[in-house]
Amino acid sequence: MFGMFARHRTTIPAPGEALPGRSERMPVPEAHFVSGRELTPPFPEWSESALVGMGCFWGAERLFWQAPGVHTTAVGYAGGFTPNPSYEEVCSGLTGHTEAVLVVFDPRLTSYEEMLRIFWEGHDPTQGMRQGNDVGTQYRSALYYYSEEQRHAAEATTGAYQERLRQAGYGAITTEIAPAGEFYYAEDYHQQYLAKVPDGYCGIGGTGVACPTGLAGVAEGAGRPAEPAGG
């Protein structure tokens, strides 16, 4: 995506080095371009959320909005320091953020474990600060959890998938696993980009290695956040 033309920074800045950002939130559409559902909170009381980073967020978001049981999706920035960053600022590598997808799903129809399966199988989590030809801290793999149940599920699937990857000849998983902080919405043209531009760039690609499911301790509906923070 456009970030491939930006400076390829591969080290996350210290908080004092990050760009200052702004207090104004990014304006985004009221409705999801594909489903017509809400893009920002409040979400339905029964809903649960997942927050992931897996490279270019255009293709990653499409994987999730196509999945059964997903209520809505949005793209944005997470895991860094700069409040309400622009896309260009994130691509500079000076915000600390990675491109992220917020997934709001119906636990009556699907599960957090299924969101993790889509995450693991949808990209190569062993590439560090890149994903394919997209290089930079904004393309790093990340799982941001909203609860201890989600943390446990993320760590359990990491261990299980690492063994499958090792058997297939891949190296160590580099996925960042951390508490979900602020999710800052990306600009409106990024939201559901590949539905608006069907032939647009998509750098997403998995390893072809299946993620084991039904792991002990990975409970359906792991971790309901009170509300993901809107950006």
Buried b / exposed e over 170-190, threshold 16 CB at 10 Å, is beebebeeeebebbbbbeeeb
User: Closest Cα partner for 155 from 221, 217, 101, 205?
Assistant: 217
Q: Give the Cα-Cα-Cα angle 164, 168, 171 (nearest 5 degrees).
A: 85
Amino acid present at 47: S
Euclidean distance between CA atoms 111 and 119, whole angstroms: 13
What count of Cα atoms within 13 Å lies in the side-chain half-sphere of residue 62? 19
The catalytic residue positions are 56
The DSSP letter of residue 42 is P
